[in-house]
Amino acid sequence: MTERSTDRGRAQYGRGLGRARAAAALLVLLLAGAAGCASDGGNVTQDLGRVPIPTPPASPIVPTAVPGHPQLVAMGDAVHLDLGPQQAQITATGPDLALSAPAPGGTPPSASRGTVTVTLHVPAGSGALSASGLAVSDELGHPVPFTTDLAAATATPGHDAVLHLAATFAAGHSTLSWAAAGKPLATWDFEVELD
């Protein structure tokens, strides 16, 4: 009895036209890909990981608050107020902290006295800024007591209303909120770092 080969359908290694054609097709594809990559000057890695960076606006974007739609912003940001016929802009900055360095080897303080400045600007007419409309809270939502240099101030064109709030600020997250006529309009979010 003679043995029959079971490799009848397989081409022997190095033989046959199938492998040669596949190798030639692969070579053509590789050359075409290399030519396409080289068409930009040959520096493919130049554009890897490139992320377009948007151009900043010509002037800062100021959010608008209306009664029933207050704004949450970072400390230092301005908020445009649309109160119907009255337009205004309010800004809060600070706190300016009265820090003292800890003793050598000592721990940093857990709280510090500081001052927040609130400024109301009106382009026409007048606007009132009252300390009774301001509230400061710590990161747990507890009220932070404060004193002001004035109970209220009035803004007119060319003369801003400015109030200074003095308080003891604990390290961590805090907020300052302002309401006019009992309606919240702006909240400033800030972090107190004492280390």
pLDDT in tens, 104-145: 777 878 889 999 999 999 999 999 999 999 999 999 999 999
Residue 32 lies in a domain: no
As for how many domains the chain has, the answer is: 1
Comparing CA positions, the residue from 59, 170, 76, 145 lying closest to residue 117 is 76
The answer for 95, left when phi > 0, alpha when psi is -120 to 50, beta otherwise, is beta
Residue 42 lies in a domain: no
Residue 186 lies in a domain: yes
pLDDT of residue 2: 52
CATH number of the domain bearing residue 175: 2.60.40.1240
Structure tokens at 121: 């600007």
- Containing domain of residue 156, as a range? 64-192
Place of tokens 């970072």: 74
Residue 172 lies in a domain: yes
Residue 47 lies in a domain: no
Report whether pLDDT(174) > 70: yes
Phi and psi (nearest 5°) for 40? Answer: -95, 20
Residue 79 lies in a domain: yes
Residue 43 lies in a domain: no
- Specify the pTM: 0.68
Residue 164 lies in a domain: yes
Comparing CA positions, the residue from 191, 186, 190, 194 lying closest to residue 64 is 186
β-pair type (78-83, 64-65):
parallel
If one compares 66 and 13, the residue with the highest pLDDT of the two is: 66
- Decide: helix, strand or coil at residue 195: coil
Residue 10 to residues 7, 13, 87, Cα–Cα distance (Å)? 5, 9, 86
Structural element, H or E, at residue 187: strand 183-192
- Binned at pLDDT 50, 70 and 90, residue 53 comes out as confident
